[in-house]
Structure 1
C-alpha cells in the first residue's frame, strides 16, 4: 500500500518538456526530454532517471506509442549505471564525446549498448581520437547551426563508413531541413517541426470499469441521483474535477461543499450530466496505471464513512469523512503537493487542514488509523483505536466492508 505520509521527491515537482525528433519522411521518431522548472530550463539528467525509476507512468504516454526517449547522462550517472532505470527497448543514452575519454566510460557504454540501449553522441567534432565512440554510436548529433551545406559535408567526411544515424538539431526552416537531408542526415529536431511541449508527471487517470459503469448510469432514462452520487464519490479523479469545476468563478458559490450529494444539488442534474459526458468520454482513452490508487482512495473513503456511522458519539459527518479519505491520496496521484491541491477544492477548512496534515487537526488521527489498518500495522492501529475510544470489532468490520465495496466498484458489472 502507498505510504501517503512520504513527502514528494524533487522529481515529482518538475515538469518534463519533450522536444520531438522526426525521421526524414517527417514521421515521429521519438522525443528528447529535459526538465523545466520556474520557467527556466534546468539540469535534467538526474531528474529523468529518477522519474523513470520511481514514477514510470510519467513516461508511459510516450512509451506506449512506441517512440524512443533520448536524454543526456553525465559521468557519474554513467558510472553509477543509472541508465538501467530506463527501458532498454525505448531509451537512448546520450553523452558528450569528451566523456568518452574518462576512465571506464568506454567499457560501460559498450556494455549498455550490448544490453540493448542505443548510444547517442552530442558535441560531435569529427576528431580521430573519438573514432571508437563514433563506431559504437547508434546516433550522432551533427552541429548544423550557422553552417553551409559544404561545411557540414566536410565535417561528415570524418565519419564515413559508420552505421550511426545522423541527428540535426535546431532545424528552423525548410531550407535547413532540405540541406541536412541532402548530406545524409536522417533524424531532425527543431522549430521547423514543432516547439517543445510539456507533459505532466503523474497524470491522474480513472479506472475504465468505473467509467463505463458511471456512463451507463448517467444515460439511464430515470437515473437514481443518490446512487449516482455514491458512485461518483467513490472515484477520486471524477470527484476532484467536479469540485474544482464548481469552485470556478463562474459559479460564485457562497457555501462550502460538504459532499458529492451536496455538489449535485447545487449544480443540478442537467448541467452535471452534460459535464460528466465530456469527462467520462475523455477518460476512456486514459491509462489504467492509477487503478490501484483509485481503488485504495475509494476504499479509504468508505472506511472512514463507516467508522463515523458506527461511532456517532464523535459527531463527525460521515459524508465529509468519505471525501477526506477519497482525496487523501491526491498528492500521490497528481504528483503535486497537497497544499496546492486543496486550493482548488471548495471544501471546509478543517477538511483542507486534514489533507495538508495540520498537526492539531481533529481528523488527523482517523487518517492515521486508516493507514495503519491498510498496512496491517496492528499494534499502531490498536493504540489509535484505544486513543479514539473506538470499538475494534466495528473498525475491522468497517475495513472489511470497505474493501469489498471498493472491489465491487472496480469491476465492470459491480453493482
Structure 2
C-alpha cells in the first residue's frame, strides 16, 4: 500500500443503523490534509484492497468539492456509495461529473435538508438520500405522527441524520420505513431507560454459553466477553468479589477466565441469563463502545504484547461505563484492581494509553482539526491512524 494516499487524508467515521438496530453501513468522512492533493483513484483502490464481501457497506463523504469531483470522475462501477451535498451540485463541473457517474452505474447519495428536497431531474441521479432533520422538521414529524389517522410524514427508504431523540428514532426506523439513521441518540436512549437497571446483553451472554459448550479456546471466550462493556465489568466485579475467594486481584478478562474456569463461568452466566437485557435500542450503543475499544487497541504502537493490547482494549471498552451505570467513571474503575494506566487514560486523559483513547474518540467525529492536533501532540503518523481505522471498519461484523 503506497503511503502517500493515507498520509494525505484525515478520516473519521459514523455508523449507520437500520430498523433491526444492526449495522447498515459506515459513513467515512474524508478530509484532505493541508494543500496536498489527494489521489482519488488510489484511495478507491486502497479501500477496495481492505474491504471484503463480509465488510459493511461504505458511504464515502468527501469534505471538499475538489475531492468530491475527483471521486466522481474516477470511481468505477461497484465502488462504495459517494455522498454529494446539495450545495456542491451548484457547481457545473460537479453536476456534470455526477451525471456521468450515474450513467456508468455509480451509486450516489444526495445529502441535504429534509425540507429542501431535490427536484425530479436531480433526484434521478441518486440511489438514496441522507436527509438532515432540523429541530422544526423533527417537531412537525412527531406532531403529525401523533395525530390520529395520520401516517408518518417521513420518506420511506431514505437515510436520516440529526436524529436526536428516541421518539424520533422510533418514528424514522419503525414507522417511517427509513433505510438507516446516521449515528445514534445515546444520551436520550439512556435517559429514557434510566429507571430500569441495565444488564448485560442477552445475545452476548447466550453466545458465550454456546462457546463454552463447544469447548472453544480461551481466546474466543475473551473475544466474546469483550463484546459487551457491561458484561465485562460485571465479570471483573464478580471475579474480584469475596464469592470467588481469590488471593490476588483479577485485572484482565483473560486472567479472570483462567482463574474462574469453564464450569464456574458457565454457572455464573446461567444465573445472569434470565435477567439479561433484550432492549434493541441498546444494541447500537454497545456496538459503538466495542468499536471504540477496537480502535483504541489498534492505535497502540505495533509490536505490543497480547497482554498489553488486552489491557488497552479494556481501557477503550470501559471508557463510557459512566454513561451506562450513571456513576462517575473514577468510582466505577476504582472498584476493580485494574492497571493504573487504564484509570489515568480514561479519567485523567494522561499516561501511555491516553493518545490511543483520545484518537479513538476523535475519529468518531467529523473534526479533522482535532484529529490533526492529537496526531501532532502525540507524534502519531496520520497514515498509521488512517490505516488502523480502515482495518477496524473493514472487519466490522454485526
Shorter-normalised TM-score: what interval? Answer: 0.3 to 0.5
Per chain length, whose mean CA-contact separation is higher, i.e. which structure has more relative contact order (CA < 8 Å, sep 6+)? 2
The structure whose Rg is larger is 1
Under a length normalisation based on structure 1, what TM-score does the superposition of the two structures give? 0.46
